[in-house]
C-alpha cells in the first residue's frame, strides 16, 4: 500500500487568518493519525505565512507516524531540520515569493549543492527526498546527489487528467521506473485528489508515499476529515 502523508499547511493558514489557536494544529495532526493517516507533512516558508517554524518543533513529540518536513534548504531550514530530526526531509526549490511549489529541482545544475545538503542530512540519519519534474534527465541527476527518494511534482498530471488526458501519466510512470531501476524510492505530490489518486497509484510502479494537503483539506469541508482520510486510504490500497 502507498502511504498517505497529510500536509497540514492549510490548517495553519486558517488558524493564522484569525490569530489565536483555532483550529488547533497539534490536535488536527493527532486526529489525522487517529483517523488512519500514515504521516504528517509540513512545509514552512521563510515568511511563516502558514506553518511557523515553532510549529515544526511543537509537532515533533506529537507525530508518531512519519514526519515529513518540506522546504527550500536555506540555512535556517537546514538548522531546524537537523534539530528536529524528522523521518524525512523533502527538498523543494521554492522562491521566497512563491504562492506554492511550482517547479522541481534542476538536479544537473544544482548537483553539488544538493549533494552537500543531502550528505549532511544522511549523516544525521534523516531520509531525504528531492522534488523533481517528471523528466528523465532530472531523475538521472537525482541519482548523482545521493538522495534516498524523489518526489514527483504532479501538478501537470492533475491538470491534464482533469481534462480527460490519461496519457499524461506516461512520463511519471517512466520516471518512476527509472528511479526504481537506479535504487531511488518514489514519492509524489501536488494537486493529487480523490478524483485522480487511484488512477495515479495504479499506474506508478513502486509508489511509496503521497503527500496531499490542499485537495484533502478542501474535500474535508464537504465530506469530513475522518471520512476523507479513509477515502484516500481506500484508493491507495
Nearest to 200 by CA among 135, 149, 155: 155
The mean pLDDT of the chain is 96
Nearest alpha-carbon partner for 59 in 91, 24, 89, 90: 24
Q: Residue 96's pLDDT is what? A: 62
Q: Is residue 94's pLDDT more than 90?
A: no
Exposure string for 197-226, b = 16+ CB within 10 A, e = fewer = beebbeebeebbbbbbbbbbbebbeeeebe
Helices 25-34 and 225-236: angle between axes, nearest 10 degrees? 40
Confidence band of 103 (pLDDT split at 50, 70, 90):
confident
pLDDT at 77: 96
- Residues annotated as catalytic (active site), given as ranges: 43, 70, 190
What's this model's pTM, rounded to 2 decimal places?
Answer: 0.95
DSSP letter for 96, please: T
Amino acid 38: pLDDT: 98
Q: What is the mean pLDDT of residues 171-196?
A: 98
Mean pLDDT, range 51-71, rounded to an integer:
98
What confidence score (pLDDT) does residue 113 get? 97
How far apart are alpha carbons 234 and 78 in whole angstroms? 35
How much of the chain exceeds pLDDT 90, in percent?
95
Residue 98 pLDDT > 80: no
Q: Is pLDDT above 70 for 100?
A: no
pLDDT bin (cut points 50, 70, 90) of residue 66 is very high
pLDDT of residue 97: 57
Amino acid at each position: 500500500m502507498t502511504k498517505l502523508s497529510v500536509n497540514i499547511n492549510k490548517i495553519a493558514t486558517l488558524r493564522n487568518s484569525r490569530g489565536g489557536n483555532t483550529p488547533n494544529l497539534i490536535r488536527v495532526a493527532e486526529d489525522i493519525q487517529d483517523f488512519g493517516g500514515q504521516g504528517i507533512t509540513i512545509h514552512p516558508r521563510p515568511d511563516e505565512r502558514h506553518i511557523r517554524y515553532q510549529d515544526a518543533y511543537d509537532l515533533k513529540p506529537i507525530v508518531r507516524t512519519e514526519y515529513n518536513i518540506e522546504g527550500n534548504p536555506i540555512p535556517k531550514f537546514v538548522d531546524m531540520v537537523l534539530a528536529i530530526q524528522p523521518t524525512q526531509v523533502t527538498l523543494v526549490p521554492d522562491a521566497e515569493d512563491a504562492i506554492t511549489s511550482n517547479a522541481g529541482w534542476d538536479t544537473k545544475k544544482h548537483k553539488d549543492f544538493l549533494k552537500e545538503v543531502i550528505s549532511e542530512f544522511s549523516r544525521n540519519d534523516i531520509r531525504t527526498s528531492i522534488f523533481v519534474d517528471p523528466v528523465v534527465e532530472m531523475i538521472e541527476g537525482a541519482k548523482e546527489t545521493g538522495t534516498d527518494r524523489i518526489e514527483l511534482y504532479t501538478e501537470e498530471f492533475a491538470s491534464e487528467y482533469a481534462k480527460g488526458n490519461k496519457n499524461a501519466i506516461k512520463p511519471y510512470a517512466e520516471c518512476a521506473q527509472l528511479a526504481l531501476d537506479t535504487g531511488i524510492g518514489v514519492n509524489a505530490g501536488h494537486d493529487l485528489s480523490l478524483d485522480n489518486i487511484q488512477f495515479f497509484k495504479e499506474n506508478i510502479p513502486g509508489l511509496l508515499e503521497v503527500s496531499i494537503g490542499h485537495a484533502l483539506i478542501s474535500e474535508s469541508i464537504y465530506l469530513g476529515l475522518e471520512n476523507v482520510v479513509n477515502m484516500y486510504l481506500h484508493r491507495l490500497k
